[in-house]
Structure 1
Amino acid sequence: MPKAVGNRTILSGSGRHALRDPARVRILDARLISSLGYVPPLRVNDIEIVLRYAHLGGGCARKGAVANEHRHEEYQVEYVLSGAFRFTGPQDTVRLQPGHGILIAPELPHSWECVEEGTMLGAMVGLQGPSAKALDAHLRQSADGRLIQVGSTLQSVRLDQVFDILLRPEPYPWRREMIASLLHVWAAQVLNDSFDLTPWKQKITYLRQAAGDRCRALCERAVEFIHANCAQRLTLDDIATQAGVTPRHLSRLFRRYTGESVKAVLLRVRLERARDLLTAGGATVKEVAYACGFSTPSHFTQCFRHRFGRLPRELG
């Protein structure tokens, strides 16, 4: 018999009502996806834990719907918002109701069945950085081939706040930024409740810089230039010239103030711009690729899928 997890009210009445309307769900999903670029990574020493995507589109199901056995390349969270779902893994079967979910390790075979018509929030979490492989091995060993149950009052409160903002009518200033902040906290709570990351957390001395620091200002100027010209064929030399420093010095500044290379920031800005254009509609994948500075649509598709966990055409 599957292990049953109790029901917890997670959304307000308006939120639960919206999830019954497929058209409303598509609107909410587009707003949710457009916020992901604003979610900062969770840092554990030299490792970044990145929320690749979070969406509703793949989680709206009618009673009896099934997803046959499959695997994910990165850590997957499925969180039940309404209805009931049964998940089956190699070692266990769990029935989930609102306010509860599971965290699935990479390459772990699993399937699910919709027991009662409802909606899930699906999220993918990736690891990157010099020690990412070691942390990944530690987390997989901790999971030990099981479906890890997640769900707490705090996690539910965060998602309820997310939906409260998603449902606000346009225009709603800073919607994406507020949703991103809440998703950032939610992801941290899910991981903190699921794994013991204490051995990986060490005290690091951070050098605080004044707001008017000249080096920070140079870095910010370069980032602004990237945002304004990301559709162009930019090189490190182009960006460094605009900032008034050597390419080598600019690379050091970016590592210090953004935690990323100049190339990584440029790629991220282009992909976030592309995602916004695709979400808005009215342009083909090919048009968006060239409008955001990619040399070929195939390269754009590869980069987009790696960052967001889905194909560009799925947002159109």
Structure 2
Amino acid sequence: MKIILALSLTLSLADAAPLAGTIGKIGTLENPQLVHRLEITKPGVYENFRVDAQGKGGNIVKITADDVTLRNCEIFNGGGNGVGVFGTRVVIENCRIHHLLNGTFEAQNDAHGITGRWGDVTIRNCDISHISGDCVQFDPDRKSRGSLTIEHCRLWAGPLEADAPGFKAGQNPGENAFDSKTMPAGERCKLVIRHCYMHGWSQPSQIQNRAALNLKEHIDAEIVQCVFDDNEIAIRARGPGGRGNAHVAIKDCAIYNTQVAVRAEDKIEQLKISGMAYGPGVNSRVEFHGGKELPGFENNGEHEAPPLNALVANPKS
């Protein structure tokens, strides 16, 4: 009886493991309020807005207050950032953010899905795509410290289905799913990315070394149970140098159809990989650029990945 109960418990825990990507309703609910820009200057819950930027730039949704939740919104059709976060204790959840394009495919300018200042910020259950910068980038001004958690999100790139100002159908804009920028010294910014599905960051592209995760500068990053598919580089972890100094831990992730799974650069001081699963189409698992003497490097528990649809909540959404 004890053996049967133990086995049953093990199976139930495995079945309960959260899938990567978005779950449930994303975007607006019934009868959303249509606006063309949204400035949030007071604490509270802001939900069910359809924010059509009509091609305008700037921060389409600008959050300057603390203690804000932005929920079930669609933010699109802009030449600037979808959401700019300049407060703390901010939660962005169940939002669809897309088609934020600035410049041209040949000369892209940054238009990010979500950007702003490090703080106590959570991005949860959001779908972000078709941007000319990064799906998420913190902090382009390098003026803040704090934490950022991204969970159960789908951060992806893919060919445009139709022409857009400066871009043609079939072109694949965007740089990274996530890119970190920080103050150069002091307390490290804390980054947690878990249960996310990141795909489509492949060539041809406007930039070289296109990566789903571009982890650099003064961060302490933990990447947990994420799934990567169809990327040039899944995880780019950058060591000391002008753009380096990241500390990175990667736990129980899965990678498919990718040229380089993990690219370790410039003798990164701390890079710990555990339980990495590799599916078909991964050309190179771990590559070292700028030196191989990595005293803080660990890589344990590599194994074969299950089929992609066993790990992703909505692989075709």
Structure 2 length as normaliser, TM-score?
A: 0.22
More helix by share: 1
Rg larger in structure: 1
Of the two structures, which has the highest relative contact order with CA contacts closer than 8 Å and spacing of 6 or more?
A: 1
Q: Which structure features the higher share of strand residues?
A: 2
